[in-house]
Amino acid sequence: MTTLPASTDKKLGLVIDLDICVGCHACVISCKEWNTSNYGAPLSDMDAYGENPVGTFLNRVHTFEVKSAGCNAQTVHFPKSCLHCEDAPCVTVCPTGASYKRSEDGIVLVNESDCIGCGLCAWACPYGAREMDAAEGVMKKCTLCVDRIYNENIPEIDREPSCVRTCPAKARHFGDFADPDSNVSVMTRERGGMELMPELMTKPVNRYLPPRPKADISGEIDILAPLLTPVPENKGGFMGWLDKALEAI
């Protein structure tokens, strides 16, 4: 059924801390590794060892630069995957019912055996969170590792999405946004967790914590700088002689 549930018991999702992400892409790799061998069709690569490799990924890390007048430019690494929107437009456009949002936990999934690969859901998603697999012709997207988080065959510590489990900087957190006291709800409240493109009214569940304000180091920047000024060329005196002598060797 591709109409959306009126509400979901839980709202499982991620908090991504843009202040902490170091842009190592470990989550991209661990996501691909877990999801290519578990839920649904593998995440194929085309021309993987050739000149123009293209592949399916459920999570990708962009890197942005932010500049404002009078401040130093900041680099922000920005992991992006499905935000498991409450008003997911990708679900309602699906003609087959392959795309659906679970009423128990809010996870948005694709039932691949129903998917005809029309691509309409990817058109409807503002965030580029869905990619059509070139080998299977079905739509792939983040499952929030639905096959890990409830999986009693793996150690309890591993029952969270692969990206969260692997992040060496602990920039990713998994939890239930419906519970106001959960880790993710508290972080979102305290750090002003942001929705992406709120103007499109998709009500994303995942939140992004903005980078904290950077310390003003504009006064300090010159302490070492004078010592590092380059020695002028064509100098005379001892330094000039030394320079020439060394050059001649």
Sign of CA pseudo-dihedral 87, 104, 84, 189? positive
Smallest gap from Cβ 107 to another protein, in A, equals 19
Q: To which residue do tokens 């890990």 refer? A: 148
> What is the contact mask toward ligand SF4 in residues 134 to 153, using x (rule: CB under 6 A)?
-----x-x------------
Distance CA 164, CA 128 (A): 20
Q: Which stretch binds another protein (CB under 8 A): 111-119, 154-162, 180-188, 222-230?
A: 111-119
Q: Which residues pair with 130 in a beta bridge?
A: 141
Distance CA 227, CA 21 (A): 33
Distance CA 56, CA 246 (A): 56
Nearer to another protein, 10 or 140 (CB): 140
Smallest gap from Cβ 8 to another protein, in A, equals 17
Q: Nearest 5 degrees, angle CA 28-CA 171-CA 178?
A: 100
Q: Which stretch binds ligand SF4 (CB under 6 A): 77-85, 171-179, 210-218, 233-241?
A: 77-85
DSSP 137-167: -SEEE--TTHHHHT-TTS-GGG-S-HHHHH-
Question: From the list ligand SF4, another protein, none, which binds 78 (C-beta under 5 to 8 Å, kind-based)?
Answer: another protein
Where b means 16+ CB within 10 Å and e means fewer, 194-204 reads ebbeeeeebeb
Smallest gap from Cβ 86 to ligand SF4, in A, equals 9
For residue 245, give both structure tokens: 């002598």
Site residues for ligand SF4, window 103-122 (CB under 6 A)?
Answer: 108, 110, 115-121
Site residues for ligand SF4, window 155-194 (CB under 6 A)?
Answer: none
Q: Which of 30, 56, 99, 162 binds ligand SF4 (CB under 6 A)?
A: 99
Nearer to another protein, 138 or 149 (CB): 138
| Residues within the interface to ligand SF4 (CB under 6 A) | 82-85, 88-90, 93-94, 96, 98-99, 108, 110, 115-121, 125, 127, 129-130, 139, 141, 202
